[in-house]
Amino acid sequence: MTGTATSRRHTEAGTAGPEGPLTGTAPRLVRTAQDGMAVAWRNLIGLRRVPRLLVFSTIQPLVFVLMFRYVFGGVVAPALHGVSYVDFLIPGIFVQTAVFGAMNTAIGLATDMQTGLMERFRSLPMARSAVLVGRTTADLVRNVFVVAMMTGVGFAIGFRIHAGVLSFLGGVLLVLAFGFAMSWIFAVVGMAVGDPETAQAAAFPVLAPLVFASAAFVPVNTMPGWLQAFAVHQPVSRTADAVRVLVLGGPAAADVWQALAWDAGIVAVFAPLGVWLYRRAV
């Protein structure tokens, strides 16, 4: 409690020991990226420690793929004019998986709020975007695994690439980009509701119409006109169609740009909104 000790302690965090100062500073942009990656690392460790999260996010699309392939496939096939239903379906399942997977973003953030971890983060000198960037990035990595798994399942039930491997990988990237954009929507949902059960309940009514009133599983031309208007233009359909073209072949540029425009637009709106909510979250 001597004056010397006190003055030394009140210069900055981290007393300078023989090894130099404990804390350092890097340029702001570098720090922001490092903070986001630190949180992503933490979330991915959590995913590894609780593998059931990964298992369940794989089982659900697996059930969907088998159900649609064998239950609805026969009905839908005639409307596809020669394209096999499984080839039509797998790109849709990819997109659906990415959308449903985004729900984990909401649940993860809401859990952090409930456990008090969010309060600790908010008292740390870390970037205000880091908690959200770390979560959406970790969920992006998880999506890579899930899509890889679904590709394997697809091949097992007759799915084939028709437009070359590079084009297919482009399709996969598009799915991941869309999943990332959806994660930001659900980051906002998670921050807004603040507890995991509510986050899950709140997510479904948003997800269901997006996924089912879309071109993900069926061609939209059998839907009533008013619904078609929505179904054709909404982001799930735009992405599913773009991925489909990349997988099945054909002129892809227009579809791909539309899908990317949706992704960019969604992130541009929801990322700042999410960070704003994080700043004021309690």
CB neighbour class for 32 (10 Å; exposed up to 12, middle 13-18, buried from 19): middle
Is residue 5 within the footprint of another protein (CB under 8 A)?
yes
Least distance (Å) from another protein to the CB of residue 6? 4
Contact indicator for 214, 231 with CB cutoff of 8 Å: yes
Draw the binding track, 86-115, toward another protein (x: CB under 8 A; -: no contact): -----------------------------x
Pick one of 22, 67, 79, 144: the residue that binds another protein (CB under 8 A).
22
14 binds another protein (CB under 8 A): yes
CB of 3 to another protein, least distance (A): 6
Residue 11 contacts another protein per CB under 8 A: yes
The correct pick among 78, 82, 116, 224 for binding another protein (CB under 8 A) is 116
C-alpha–C-alpha distance, residues 85 and 232, integer Å: 19
Interaction of residue 221 with another protein, rule CB under 8 A: no
Q: C-alpha distances in angstroms, 279 versus 104, 122, 192, 273?
A: 21, 8, 12, 10
Q: How many residues does the chain have?
A: 282
**CA 93 – CA 129 distance, rounded (Å):** 31
Q: Does 78 bind another protein (CB under 8 A)?
A: no
State which of positions 225-264 bind another protein (CB under 8 A): none
Candidates 26, 67, 254, 268: give the one binding another protein (CB under 8 A): 26
Identify which of residues 184 and 278 has a Cβ nearer to another protein in the complex.
278
Q: What single string gives the DSSP state of each residue in 131-170? A: HHHHHHHHHHHHHHHHHHHHHHHHHHTT----S-HHHHHH
Cβ-Cβ contacts under 8 Å for 8 (sequence gap 6 or more)? 15
Count of residues near another protein by CB under 8 A? 48
Q: Which of 66, 79, 124, 201 binds another protein (CB under 8 A)?
A: 124
3-class DSSP assignment, residue 17: strand
Q: How far is the CB of 54 from another protein (least distance, A)?
A: 13
* Residue 227, H or E segment: helix 225-233
- Which of these, 104, 268, 262, lies nearest to 186 by C-alpha position? 104
Taking CB under 8 A as the criterion, which residues in 35-74 touch another protein? 35, 38-39, 41-42, 45-46, 49-50
Contact residues: another protein, CB under 8 A: 1-15, 19-26, 30-31, 34-35, 38-39, 41-42, 45-46, 49-50, 115-117, 119-126, 130, 282
